[in-house]
Structures are given as structure tokens and as C-alpha cells.
């Protein structure tokens, strides 16, 4: 069994009087895609933002490979090998595709490593290579999501945290983006925490999953267990 790479223990997040995350614990195992699922407002994004220190948790602990990383700045996490793609795939609109990728590699000093990563990103998303001179702001939603993933990969992460990559994409593009995550996981051993509302498609690529409801983990298990569970099928998959 693979061991836990990222561990979240008893995490609480509150915004003023609103308790968004109510004492959740979860783990992402090395070499696996783990999905964090749930409806609008369940507390998924707040969990992710607290993991990367963008939101200060009221209490709880986050560890990465055994080290406490609770409330560390983004730069420290990137250096440890953690990359985060926030919801909405924000890219630098007035910069070209390739400039965006270059910006993602700001911690990379070795030119050979930089070129190799760029080639890997272009091999994964040939569309980005075709459009390398295009301004990122003029790319389609799906292309921007690919660019956001590509930019995150330029830092050479071992763990990728990604918030709702399917948002606003057509089913075909969702499949392409999820296929890319699966390929990165299979071929490069990239570990992923995939935050998603699109439960059916997320369960196809994930090894295990957690379902959040009103700030708590309501259900957890392997993706196969969740996909077969009557509760999940009725309440979340509309079957």
C-alpha cells in the first residue's frame, strides 16, 4: 500500500461566523489521484485554500511527507514540490502561452531542465505548442485550463492540487483534461488532489475519494467503492 504524502488532520476553516470546514481529516497517498468531491458550498475550495495557506485555518494540521506545512507561504510549498491550480484556471492574460509557462518555471535555474519540462508540457498538450505565441487571454476555457496545468507542471511538482478543472468546460474537454491528469499520474507518478463537483468523471480517474457535505467528510473510500455505493449513486450521480 502506498503511504500518505499529504495529510490533513482536524482542519477547521471559518469566515467570520460561517463555519466552512468542520474538522475534516484526509490524506493523499503517494502516486495516487485522490478526489475531494461534493456539491456547491460543501467546503472543498476552503479546504484546498487552507492546505496551501491562502486561508488561515482556525485549527488543524497539514503535513507533507511527514513535515508540518500548516500555513506556509506558497513559495515554500512550490519548493517542496507542491503546486496548486486555483478554481478558474487563472492565467496571465496579456502574456503569451509560452511566457505563461516560463513564469511557472521561476524556481527552475537549470536551462536544460527548463527545456525538458517545456517539451513535456507540449507533448502532453500539443495545442499549447501550436498556440505558443498566442496571448493567453484569447485562449478558450479548455485551453486556459490546459495552460494552467502546464504552468503548474513547469515547477516540477510531485503533488498537484487542482480546484474544479471541469468548471465551464464541455464534457469532451473535461475528458481531455482528466485524461491528462491520469497520464501524468500513470507515467510520471504525479500525486494529485482533485477537487471536483463532477463526481462521475472524477471517480473514473481517482483511486480514492472523499465526499464533503456541509463542511464535513460524509463518505470516503476507494473510487470503485464510491461508484458502486447506493448512497452515492442516488444522492450524487442521479441514478
Alpha-carbon distance of 194 to 206, in angstroms, equals 8
Q: Answer yes or no whether residue 117 interacts with ligand ATP by CB under 6 A.
A: no
**Which residue's CB is nearer to ligand ATP, number 87 or number 183?**
87
| Least CB distance to ligand ATP at residue 236 (A) | 13
**Which residue's CB is nearer to ligand ATP, number 38 or number 60?**
38
Q: Answer yes or no whether residue 23 interacts with ligand ATP by CB under 6 A.
A: no
**Which residue's CB is nearer to ligand ATP, number 44 or number 127?**
44
Alpha-carbon distance of 3 to 66, in angstroms, equals 11
> Binding ligand ATP by CB under 6 A: which of 10, 15, 119, 171?
15
Alpha-carbon distance of 174 to 201, in angstroms, equals 8
Q: Answer yes or no whether residue 219 interacts with ligand ATP by CB under 6 A.
A: no
Q: Which of residues 35-54 bind ligand ATP (CB under 6 A)?
A: 38, 40-46
Alpha-carbon distance of 136 to 134, in angstroms, equals 6
Alpha-carbon distance of 33 to 195, in angstroms, equals 10
Interface stretch with ligand ATP, choices 12-20, 88-96, 113-121, 149-157 (CB under 6 A):
12-20
Q: Torsions phi, psi of 31, nearest 5?
A: 80, 10
Of the CA atoms within 13 Å of residue 152, those in its CB half-sphere come to 27
Chain residues in the site for ligand ATP (CB under 6 A): 15, 18, 20, 38, 40-46, 197
Amino acid at each position: 500500500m502506498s503511504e500518505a504524502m499529504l495529510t490533513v488532520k482536524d482542519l477547521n476553516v471559518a469566515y467570520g461566523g460561517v463555519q466552512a470546514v468542520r474538522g475534516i481529516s484526509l490524506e493523499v497517498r503517494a502516486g495516487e489521484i485522490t478526489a475531494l468531491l461534493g456539491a456547491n458550498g460543501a467546503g472543498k475550495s476552503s479546504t484546498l485554500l487552507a492546505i496551501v495557506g491562502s486561508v488561515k485555518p482556525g485549527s488543524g494540521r497539514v503535513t507533507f511527507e511527514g513535515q508540518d506545512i500548516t500555513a506556509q507561504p506558497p513559495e515554500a510549498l512550490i519548493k517542496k514540490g507542491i503546486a496548486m491550480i486555483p478554481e478558474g484556471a487563472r492565467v496571465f492574460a496579456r502574456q503569451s502561452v509560452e511566457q505563461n509557462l516560463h513564469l511557472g518555471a521561476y524556481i527552475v535555474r537549470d536551462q536544460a531542465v527548463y527545456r525538458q519540462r517545456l517539451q513535456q508540457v507540449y507533448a502532453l498538450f500539443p495545442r499549447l505548442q501550436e498556440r505558443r505565441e498566442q496571448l493567453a487571454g484569447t485562449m478558450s476555457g479548455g485551453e486556459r485550463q490546459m495552460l494552467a496545468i502546464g504552468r503548474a507542471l513547469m515547477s516540477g511538482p510531485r503533488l498537484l492540487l487542482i480546484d474544479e478543472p471541469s468548471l465551464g468546460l464541455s464534457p469532451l474537454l473535461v475528458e481531455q483534461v482528466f485524461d491528462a491528469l491520469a497520464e501524468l499520474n500513470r507515467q510520471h507518478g504525479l500525486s494529485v488532489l482533485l477537487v471536483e463537483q463532477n463526481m462521475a468523471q472524477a471517480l473514473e480517474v481517482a483511486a480514492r475519494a472523499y465526499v464533503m457535505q456541509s463542511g464535513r467528510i460524509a463518505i470516503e473510500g476507494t473510487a470503485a467503492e464510491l461508484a458502486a455505493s447506493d448512497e452515492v449513486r442516488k444522492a450524487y450521480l442521479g441514478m
